[in-house]
Structure 1
Amino acid sequence: MKNERIDCKVILDKRRESKNHTYPLRMRLTFKRKRKYYSITTKLTEEDWNILNSESVKGQLRKIRNDIAKVEETAKDVIKSIPAFSFKEFEERFFNKRTKEEYLSFYFSEYIQTLRKNEQVKTAISYETAINSLTKFKKNIKPTEIDVKFLSEYEKWMLKNKKSNSTIGIYLRNLRSIMNILKEKKLISENEYPFGRKKYQIPQGRNVKKAIPLPYIKQIFDYKISDDNLFKERSKDFWLFSYLANGMNFTDIANLVWGDFSDDSFVFIRSKTKRTTKHNPHPITVMRNEYINAIIKKWGNVEKAKYPDELVFNHYCPTKIGYKSAVTLYSKGLQHKKLLFQNWGSTPDFFSMV
Structure 2
Amino acid sequence: MSATISVILDTRRAKQTNKYPVKLRVTFQRTTEYYPTIFDLTQADWNKLSATRLSNELQSKKDKLKEIERMATTAILEICPFVFTEFEKIFIKDHPFFKQRKTKEVSFESNGDSFDYSPFYKKFPLLLKPLGTPGFISYSYTIQIKKLLREGRIGTAVNYHCSYRSLKKFRGDVMFHQITPTYLVEFENLLKQRELSKTTIGMYIRPLRAIFNEAIEDGIIKREKCYPFGKRKYRIPTSRNVKKALELSDIEKIYFYKCNPNEPGEQQAKDYWLFSYFGNGMNPKDIANLRYKNIDGDYLIFERSKTENSLRSDPKPITVFLNEDMKAIIERWGNKNKSANNYIFPILEPGLTPLRQYELNQNFVGFINGWMKTILSNLGIDKKATTYVARHTFSTVLKRSGASTEFIQEALGHTDLKTTESYLGSFGREMKKDIAQRLTSFKKEAQL
Using structure 2 for the length normalisation, give the TM-score.
Answer: 0.53
Q: Structure 2 matches for 1:228-307, cutoff 5 A?
A: 228-302=262-336, 304-305=337-338, 307=339
Q: Is the 8 A contact 1:257 1:311 kept in 2?
A: yes
Q: Is the 8 A contact 2:300 2:319 kept in 1?
A: yes
Runs of 4+ in structure 1 over 6 Å off: 349-352
- Counterpart position of 1:329: 364
Q: 1:105 to 1:229 in 2, by over 3 A?
A: farther
- Consecutive unaligned residues in structure 1, runs of 5 or more: 1-76, 82-95
- Give the residue type in structure 1 aligned to 2:344: V
- Give the Cα separation in 1 of the matches to 2:240 and 2:383: 16
Q: Is the 8 A contact 1:232 1:336 kept in 2?
A: yes
Deviation at 1:269, TM superposition (A): 0.9
SS in 1 for 2:211: helix
Q: Is residue 317 of structure 1 aligned with residue 352 of structure 2?
A: no
- Give the residue type in structure 1 aligned to 2:202: G
- Of 144, 154, 170, 1:111 maps to 144
Which has the higher relative contact order, 1 or 2, with Cα contacts under 8 A spaced 6 or more apart? Answer: 2
- Counterpart position of 2:202: 169
Deviations 1:2-56 (CA, angstroms, capped at 9, x unpaired): xxxxxxxxxxxxxxxxxxxxxxxxxxxxxxxxxxxxxxxxxxxxxxxxxxxxxxx
Identical-residue share of aligned pairs (%): 33
SS in 1 for 2:208: helix
SS in 2 for 1:267: strand
Larger Rg: 1
- Counterpart position of 1:199: 233
Q: Is the 8 A contact 2:135 2:175 kept in 1?
A: yes
- Counterpart position of 1:212: 246
SS in 1 for 2:132: helix
- Give the Cα separation in 1 of the matches to 2:256 and 2:331: 19
- Give the Cα separation in 2 of the matches to 1:349 and 1:292: 22
- Consecutive unaligned residues in structure 2, runs of 5 or more: 1-109, 114-128, 393-448
- Give the Cα separation in 2 of the matches to 1:98 and 1:277: 31
SS in 1 for 2:286: helix
SS in 2 for 1:277: coil
Deviation at 1:210, TM superposition (A): 4.2
Using structure 1 for the length normalisation, give the TM-score.
Answer: 0.66
- Give the residue type in structure 2 aligned to 1:186: G
Q: Is the 8 A contact 1:104 1:142 kept in 2?
A: yes
- Give the residue type in structure 1 aligned to 2:220: L
- More deviation, 289-298/151-160: 289-298
- Counterpart position of 2:155: 122
Q: Is the 8 A contact 2:284 2:364 kept in 1?
A: yes
Q: Is the 8 A contact 1:169 1:202 kept in 2?
A: yes
Q: Is residue 308 of structure 1 aligned with residue 343 of structure 2?
A: no
Q: Is the 8 A contact 2:259 2:267 kept in 1?
A: yes
Q: 1:175 to 1:232 in 2, by over 3 A?
A: farther
Deviation at 1:257, TM superposition (A): 1.2
Aligned residues: 260
SS in 2 for 1:203: coil
